[in-house]
Amino acid sequence: MDRRKALKNVAFLLGAAISSNTISVLFEGMGFNDDSKLKLFFSASDEEILGEYAEIIIPTTASSGGAKAAGLGAFIPMILRDCYPSNMQELFATGMKEMLVKCQKEYNKDFLSMNVAERNKLMTDLTAEAIANKKKPSFFMIARDLTLLGYFSSEIGCTQLREYVSIPGRYDGSADYKPGQKAWAT
């Protein structure tokens, strides 16, 4: 199975968790020729920033690894380059630069030097901006959606966060669900 078909299947599975903008971009992106893509370059530092950013959304807990452990710092740029049209890539890159400028301006620090409380405040501000813009595509929306997509389709998301049975056996639509039990990944 090729990656685009796998992404399409994951998008169907995640459904409402990912915004309609991201789902439409992924489906539209499957028909683009490589010539129509911008092919942004993300440095190792950019990937580290994206990994830390994604970790704010899905942090590491005692029972499962977070977004960094799932490798989302590298996943997000790969999906942007491979599946997103050039205008969305540019929107993401511009938004990321604006976020980094905001860090310097408001906190007098680069993103990686900020503490957890400052990063959470930044995330709250970006969320408020996205809501104020009526959830139009933005750096925040794209990064959030790709974090969810990448994490819940990663090995960590499927095996540590959710209940996983490698060979599920028969289907039982009325299986007992115990309070506190993980949701099923298979």
Which tens digit of pLDDT belongs to each residue from 86-138? 889 999 999 999 999 999 999 999 999 999 999 999 999 999 998 998 878 99
Query: Which pTM does this prediction carry?
Result: 0.75
Q: Are 51 and 96 in contact (CB under 8 A)?
A: no
Tokens, residue 131: 């809501």
Judge whether residue 50 has pLDDT over 70: yes
